[in-house]
Amino acid sequence: MDSPSLINVVDVEATCWDTTPPPGEVSEIIEIGLTVVDPVAGERVGRHRILVRPARSRVSAFCTELTGLTQAEVETGVDFATACRLLSRDHAAGTRPWASWGDYDRKQFTRQCEATRTPYPFGRRHTNAKAVFTEAHALRRCPGMAQALTHAGLPLEGRHHRGEDDAWNIAALILHLADRGAWPPAG
């Protein structure tokens, strides 16, 4: 049985370019990193990665430099609709609360689901961890994830701009916030 305190922490990587996208291409999710965190128990309890094969874009050299992901690697992934079904089936995405660093990930899922007519895999209980961190630390500006880790005295684990690693690091920040009593209660 799923603990009521579990949260899915999601971070996506998407096709990107150093300038404008090539004609006919759009930004698409190519990796979904998901860490399951239990803020009540104070631990990260699961670490997952879903590679997603883009349908309307290719991984640029800029994107590979940023994320480490290559076109050949993402071609081994599943299509976006399958990735959404996996989130729902294997990770309780429709019922479990979820969080991301900022609103980019939520908006990218919304855009891509609408564009591909794919059912949105997540429930309504989304928390912008970046906003919670900014308020809890009384910061004037919202920090990036790496800056927030430094501010909290936590290490950056893995490669920045890799969905699986970023979700893991965001989960550490959520545990930091929960330890301070600043993470909103489930419900």
Tell me the pLDDT tens digit for each residue of 107-158. Answer: 999 999 999 999 999 999 999 999 999 999 999 999 999 999 999 999 999 9
Instruction: Go through the domains of the chain in sequence order and give each one's CATH number.
Output: 7-179 (3.30.420.10)
| pLDDT at residue 18 tops 90 | yes
- The pTM for the full model equals 0.96
Query: Stretch 12-37: mean pLDDT, rounded?
Result: 97
Rounded Cα–Cα distance for residues 96 and 124 (Å): 9
What is the arithmetic mean of pLDDT over 158-173? 97
Please tell me the predicted confidence (pLDDT) of residue 3.
Answer: 75
Q: What is the pLDDT of residues 85-110, one digit of tens each?
A: 999 999 999 999 999 999 999 999 99
Q: At what angle do helices 145-152 and 129-136 cross, to 10 degrees?
A: 40
C-alpha span between 25 and 87 (Å, rounded)? 25
